[in-house]
Amino acid sequence: MKELDVRGLSCPAPVVSVKRALEAGEGELRVILDNGAPRENVRRFAQGRGYSVQEEPFEGGFALTLAGEPKPKLQGSGQAAGPLVMLVGSDRLGDGPEELGRLLMRNFLMTLPELGELPDRMLFVNTGVLLTAAGSEVLEALEALGNRGVELLSCGVCLDFFQKKESLGAGGVTNMFTIAESLVGARSVVRL
Amino acid sequence: MVRDGDYVAVFNSVHRVMEAEKLLKDLRLAVLLIPAPRALAADCGLALRYAEDARGEVEGALAKNGLLPRELYRKTGGGFTKLEVEL
């Protein structure tokens, strides 16, 4: 059984690490983590994906054993496989007054964690990276998305352009190769 | 987005809630503009969230500037308790 130690990592990093390990498809996974939010978030995420979860105290924290098969994400046989990707190409939603557009984007991202089905990955490019940078009003919502297993990736060139490379507030940094690969390999892309 | 004990102020127009947010942010008060929780069914769909320790200053500033919300709620347990909007 593969073992993953995510002690000391702050949310949503434990969920992101577990998600990657599960997607690598190596059967049962034993996760060693801190009690509290990491334990709750990983358990909720794994159960939501259809895994059984067994918990036991371990060295001051907990060990969770995740077993079983994930729930099939797709219904019907006509749909292509692959992740659902959301491309956030701006810090505004829709055309119109800038102030309204920014408000609508914040409103959208804060509403997203309330939904049952979420994108697998969200890619932030151009002014979209201002949403993932420190000081953004939606960091709390992005953390909630991360805790539900949504992978958040910001364009490194864009962060550099806006001089935000050292102040990323949510998710990770990526490059155009990964962005292009994600878009081409997606079963569906939602562009904002 | 709303934790237990938080206050949620619902306004009757998007312009008022944006004006209120700007006022409170300029005063460096810890408020967050959020989608109005579905259970509260606000017309404009937006609300301001703040915690107990900011309540006095937030509502004082709103009252002083004629920007009191239409309705005020506090998250308690699984639901929202409606409070009087005091002038």
CA distance A149 to chain B (A): 17
In chain B the domains, ranked by start, together with CATH numbers, are 7-83 (3.30.70)
Assess if residue A73 is contained within a domain.
no
Assess if residue A77 is contained within a domain.
no
CA distance A24 to chain B (A): 32
Identity at A126, one-letter amino acid code = N
Instruction: Say if residue A78 is exposed, middle or buried (CB neighbours under 10 Å; 0-12, 13-18, 19+).
Output: exposed
Which mean pLDDT values do the consecutive 10-residue runs of chain A (192 residues) have? 88 85 83 89 84 90 88 54 92 95 95 91 97 95 93 93 92 90 93 94
Instruction: Write out pLDDT tens, residues B40-68.
Output: 865 667 899 999 999 999 999 999 999 99
Considering the domain architecture, whether residues A171 and A118 belong to the same structural domain is answered as: yes
Assess if residue A78 is contained within a domain.
no
Tell me the pLDDT of chain B averaged across its residues: 90
Considering the domain architecture, whether residues A96 and A161 belong to the same structural domain is answered as: yes
Between residues 40 and 69 of chain A, which touch chain B (CB distance below 8 Å)?
none
Radius of gyration of chain B (CA): 12
Instruction: Write out pLDDT tens, residues B6-27.
Output: 999 998 788 999 999 999 999 9
Considering the domain architecture, whether residues A44 and A110 belong to the same structural domain is answered as: no
From the CB of residue A179, how many other CB atoms can be counted at a distance below 10 Å? 21
Considering the domain architecture, whether residues A113 and A173 belong to the same structural domain is answered as: yes
The pLDDT value recorded for residue B43 is: 61
Considering the domain architecture, whether residues A123 and A180 belong to the same structural domain is answered as: yes
- The DSSP element (H or E) to which B32 belongs, if any, is strand B31-35
Give me the phi and psi of B10, to 5 degrees please. -105, 130
If DSSP codes are grouped into helix, strand and coil, which group holds residue B12? coil
The pLDDT value recorded for residue A77 is: 46
Give the ipTM of the model, two decimals please.
Answer: 0.78
The pLDDT value recorded for residue A191 is: 95
CA dihedral (B33, A85, A53, A70) positive or negative: positive
Considering the domain architecture, whether residues A105 and A40 belong to the same structural domain is answered as: no
Contact A18, A29 (CB under 8 A): yes
The pLDDT value recorded for residue A50 is: 84
Total number of domains constituting chain A: 2
The pLDDT value recorded for residue A76 is: 47
CATH code of residue A167: 3.40.1260.10
Considering the domain architecture, whether residues A100 and A60 belong to the same structural domain is answered as: no
What residues make up the domain containing A141?
A: 84-191
State whether B33 and A111 contact (CB < 8 Å): no
Instruction: Among B14, B18, B35, select the one facing A111 at the smallest CB separation.
Output: B35
Per the confidence metrics, is the pTM higher than 0.90? no
Q: In the A/B pair of chains, how many CB contacts fall below 8 A?
A: 23
The pLDDT value recorded for residue B26 is: 96
From the CB of residue A20, how many other CB atoms can be counted at a distance below 10 Å? 12
Considering the domain architecture, whether residues A56 and A93 belong to the same structural domain is answered as: no
> Which strands sit side by side in the sheet containing A52-58, from one edge to the other?
A2-5, A29-33, A61-67, A52-58
CATH code of residue A53: 3.30.110.40
